[in-house]
Amino acid sequence: MNSISQQGQRFVYDALVIGGGIAGLTYALELARLRPATKIALVVKQGLVESSSYYAQGGIAAASLAEDSAALHVSDTLKAGDGLCYLPTVEAIITASTQRLQDLKNHGVAFDQQNDGHPDLAQEGGHSCRRIYHAGDESGKAIVDVLMQAVKKTPQIQVLEFHTAVNLITDAECHIPGSWPEVIGAYVLDEQQALIHTLLASVVILATGGAGKVYRYTSNPDVATGDGIAMAYRAGARVGNMEFYQFHPTLLYHPQKNNFLISEALRGEGAYLRLAGSGERFMQRYDPARMELATRDIIAHAIFTEIERGAHPYVHLDIRHRGKAFLESRFPLIFQTLLTLGIDISRDLIPVVPAAHYLCGGVLADVNGKTDLPRLYALGETAFTGLHGANRLASNSLLECVVMGYAAAEDSTRWLGVAPNHEKAIDWDSYGVTDFRRASQINAHWRGLRGEMTSYAGIIRTEAGLKDLLKLIRARRGMIDEYYWQHIVTRDLVELRNIILIAELITRSAINRKESRGGHFRADYPEKLSNSNESIFQLNS
């Protein structure tokens, strides 16, 4: 066993930003611009480049062509959301898209252009026309790199890499009965020192992304463990729409590259889906009008169904007919990455499977990121604003991150001149021991949980399976919590504690929704209800 007895330190900031994707970076930069004297902490679990934003291939959706309009973009978003989008949020975010796109360009983000200087817009599933601004097939990287460099040049922003948020700190002991407790900071694990520091702030921003690691197959990086949602829920905030996990239809199926996404833009440029073995195109059985340009929920369900029926654990994506020169130019990352694996996409078929990609639910928040809890904001994939409804329209996610980052920065300035009550904050006692054998056993829950979630709460669900899953999750959660309270807190343990809670919330939500809609398909309730509302859970025991 190993023991430590050092105490973490206490730090005070104006704003504490947890998460270094596009939402967190945008917020920090805009707040620093609005309030130059503001002291901002930006907490990231690894380096600044390790986020779902960084690996986003597609781009940002914004209407600019003569035949397009914000109203048409709104309509496409509502259709993709399958009846559960919140119209005021959809209109607010899409209306702001053109201005926020220009803001990114002003920062120095270079989106692809045609030879005549006009934007080279891409087409993606669910969109009525071309409206995706992109930088090759590494759009997220292009944006994050520019914003990251700007953050490094901004002295008001202190970047804390290899720091993992553990829990939010509230004034629950001294707030007025009947009101929401204020969030006044967070406990944060400094991995390099193995200490838990107390970071206090006037405002706390959760921009931690999604929770793809709850499933066996995911396009998300390893840091996507639902930390912000879990922390907010434990603190008393409401969460909603957790049953709507979007599965991206085309993750590369390859043993050497198990989380590499094959962008939806390939289908936008004419790629076909074919059955492995026979080579038959099959989307005519599911959406004959749109075929491969149907929305993600429909295509993921179609691929999953065909895989279950067939003899192969994958289907093929076929874009050979577009030619090598075009493919190398339009999809340089995908082309070169697959070439290193022996797949020449100008000559070879691409094996793909659906994978957990995007959580459409999260912490209940308005378009400015405000949550139930005063001083707490949630942005991007961490938030449930109603933009995505039951199924996200492609390339609306990075747009949401940028728009909400700017909106939250302006809205949250209200708290900067109002000092929070830090008197009741208690520093974390880092004394404890680690039982390495037991830690290894506890971490083994990762493998079991991810397999169970994929089998029982994946693309196709049933009540019997979900109820079995809930029993398994609660048994696992009991063991994990018991270990958590008795031993040193490590990043693995923090993430495991969060992801088991996320799994429970997804499962409870999926049990409650007795219909099929968007990213939630119940084989025992295949029809859509006309009067179905969002599922929102209040904190309980």
> Same domain for 11 and 120?
yes
Among 35, 296, 461, 476, which one carries the catalytic annotation?
296
> Same domain for 100 and 220?
yes
Please, which pLDDT band fits residue 540 given cuts at 50, 70 and 90?
very low
pLDDT at residue 531 in the model: 61
Q: Are 155 and 175 in contact (CB under 8 A)?
A: no
How confident is the model over 258-275, as a mean pLDDT? Answer: 89
- Residue 296 is a catalytic residue: yes
Nearest to 389 by CA among 359, 366, 368: 359
On whether residue 434 sits in a domain, the answer given is no
Q: Are 135 and 59 in contact (CB under 8 A)?
A: yes
pTM, entire model: 0.89
> Same domain for 365 and 351?
no
Q: How many residues in the chain?
A: 541
> Same domain for 259 and 132?
no
> Same domain for 374 and 266?
no
Q: What is the CATH number of the domain that holds 261?
A: 3.90.700.10
On whether residue 474 sits in a domain, the answer given is no
> Same domain for 214 and 284?
no
SS3 12: strand
> Same domain for 281 and 207?
no
Q: How many CB atoms lie within 10 A of CB 307?
A: 19
Of the three residues 342, 357, 372, the one that is the final residue of a domain is: 357
On whether residue 350 sits in a domain, the answer given is yes
Please, which pLDDT band fits residue 3 given cuts at 50, 70 and 90?
very low
On whether residue 347 sits in a domain, the answer given is yes
How confident is the model over 485-507, as a mean pLDDT? Answer: 90
> Same domain for 378 and 264?
no
> Same domain for 284 and 337?
yes
Which structural domain range is residue 295 located in?
245-357
> Same domain for 250 and 391?
no
Of the three residues 336, 357, 378, the one that is the final residue of a domain is: 357
Q: Are 356 and 506 in contact (CB under 8 A)?
A: no
Alpha helices of 35-186 — where are they, by DSSP H?
52-55, 70-80, 87-95, 97-107, 139-152
pLDDT at residue 453 in the model: 95
Q: What CA–CA distance (Å, rounded) separates 165 from 162? A: 10
> Same domain for 252 and 396?
no
On whether residue 98 sits in a domain, the answer given is yes
Q: How much of the chain exceeds pLDDT 70, in percent?
A: 94
On whether residue 205 sits in a domain, the answer given is yes
Please, which pLDDT band fits residue 138 given cuts at 50, 70 and 90?
confident
Of the three residues 374, 394, 415, the one that is the final residue of a domain is: 415
Total structural domains within the chain: 2
Q: What is the CATH number of the domain that holds 10?
A: 3.50.50.60
> Same domain for 329 and 207?
no
Stretch among 35-39, 338-342, 442-446, 513-517 having the lowest mean pLDDT:
442-446
Q: What Cα–Cα distance (Å) separates residue 14 from each residue in 37, 38, 202, 217, 418?
A: 9, 6, 5, 39, 10
How confident is the model over 197-210, as a mean pLDDT? Answer: 96
